[in-house]
Amino acid sequence: MTNSDNRAAASAGGALSDLCVVELAAFIAAPLAGMTLAQLGAEVVKIEPIGGSFDAGRWPLSPSGASLYWTALNKGKRSVAIDLRKKEGAELAAALIAAGGQGGGIFLTNLPARAPLDFDSLTARRPDVIMASILGSSDGSTAVDYTINCATGLPDVTGPVSHEGPVNHVLPAWDVITAMSIVNAILIAERHRRATGAGQLVRMALSDVAFATMANLGFTPEAETGGVRERIGNDLYGAFGRDFVLADGRRIMIVAITARQWEGLVAATGIADAVKAIEVARGLDLSDEGDRFRARNDIAPLIQAWCATHTLGTAKDILTKHGVCWGPYQTIRQLVTEDARFSERNPIFRRIHQPGIGDILAPGFPGRFSNLASPQQRPAPTLGADTRAVLHTRLGLAMGEIDGLAKHGIIRVDAPEAGD
C-alpha cells in the first residue's frame, strides 16, 4: 500500500484498519480490549472452542437465551472455531497468529500460555510477534476483578455511613481500565515494532492496574502518611457533593468542586445569607473546597430544602441556567428510554441487528475524531461464522482442506444463530 492508500483505508475503515489481532480470551478485560481495537478498524479474529467459550452463555440473557454479556463484548469481531485440544487445532491457531503481513502477528489473550501459543513458540514462527497477555494477579495467583477489588480497600469505604462490613460495587472497574490499558500497550508495542522490527511480550495484571490506580488517585499515599479514609456514603470526598430528593420523588446528584460550581449552586438555590452564617459560626471559608467538605452536613439541609420545592423539570432549568454541576439518578431502563445521550441522536450509537437477539442499540468507539471516520457498528459473530473465510484468506487453505479439517472435528465452519 502507498501512503495515500493507507490514509484512504484508515479514513474508510478506521485508524487501525491495517492491523489484524487474534484474540483467545474470555471474561471482560481482554474481550473488551479486542472489541475496542475492532471499533477502531482493526480486524479482530476471535478463536473459540468448537462448542463455544465457557462464558458464551453468561448472564444477562435475552428472551431467546442468547448471552447479552457475550454479544455485547464481542461486537465487530470475526469468529473462528478451532479445537485447541487437538495438536492440529493448536498449530492452526498459531499459524493464524503468525500470519497477516506487516499488520499481523498480534495476539491478545488472558488464558494460560501453552505451546504452541506461548510467546517463545510464536516468536520462533514469527520473530516480530506481539503478545499481549492479561493476568489476574501479579504474583501469579488466579484472580478476577471482584477478588482484586476486595483487596484495594475500596469496599471498606463504599456504602452507607452506618453500614458495617464491606460493600462491593457492581462495576468491574479494574477489568475496564485494564482493557483500555492493554489497548494502549498493544499500540505502543506495534509502533515500536514498526520502528525497530522487534516483537514484544506485554504482560499486564489486574492487580497491578488496580493498585497503581489506588496510588495514582492518592488513596495509598494517604494511608502511608497516617490518614484514614472513612465511609461517607454518597458524599463527595474532599469537596461538596451529595444526592438530594426533589418534590416529585426524583433524586439528583449535585457537585460543587470548583469555585465557579459552588458560586453557581449558591446563586441557584438562593442560600448566600445562610452560607455566610455558616462561615461565621464555624470559622470556615466555603469558597475553599476542603472547607465545603468539612461543612457538608451544614450545607446539605439548605440544598435539600430547595430541592424539596422543585420537580426535576424546574430544577433542571434553574440548575443548568446557573452552571451547576448536577445529574439525575435514573434506572437503567430510564437511561435506555429517556436519556437522549443514549440514543441515535448521539452519533456514537446506531441500531444494529444482533443474530439471536434482534435489534439493539450499539455503541461505537466513544472517542470522536475530527479527521477520521469511525467504522460502522457491527454485531457480534455467531460461533464459527468466519472460520472458512479466515482460514482461506489468512492461511491460503483451499476449500477442500478446510472441509477436511471440519470433517475431522478440528474446526467448525458454520453455526446456527443463537436461539434458533
User: Is the preceding peptide bond at 116 cis, omega within 30 degrees of 0?
Assistant: yes
Residue 323 vs residues 97, 246, 258, 263, 401: alpha-carbon distances, Å: 52, 19, 11, 9, 66
Specify the DSSP class assigned to residue 374.
Answer: P
DSSP string, 265-301: HHHHHT-HHHHHHHHHHHT--TTSHHHHHHTHHHHHH
Report the alpha-carbon distance of residue 7 to residue 11 in Å, rounded.
Answer: 6
Specify the DSSP class assigned to residue 304.
Answer: H
H-state helical runs in 99-172: 119-125, 145-152
Phi, psi (rounded to 5 degrees) for 122: -70, -35
Active site annotation includes 175: yes
Report the alpha-carbon distance of residue 153 to residue 331 in Å, rounded.
Answer: 27
Q: Of these residues, 175, 291, 298, 386, which one is catalytic?
A: 175
H or E segment and range at residue 316:
helix 312-321
Angle at 113 between CA 108 and CA 118, to 5 degrees: 80
Q: Which residue's C-alpha cell is 479527521?
A: 371
Q: Nearest Cα to 348, choosing from 327, 381, 372, 375?
A: 375
DSSP string, 232-259: -TTSPTTSEEEEEE-TTS-EEEEEE-SH
Helix (H, G, I), strand (E, B) or coil at 37: helix
Report the alpha-carbon distance of residue 260 to residue 323 in Å, rounded.
Answer: 8
Length of the chain: 420
Neighbours of 186 (CB within 10 A): 26
Cβ contacts of 62 within 8 Å, gap of 6 or more: 68, 356, 357, 358, 419
Catalytic positions, written as ranges: 175
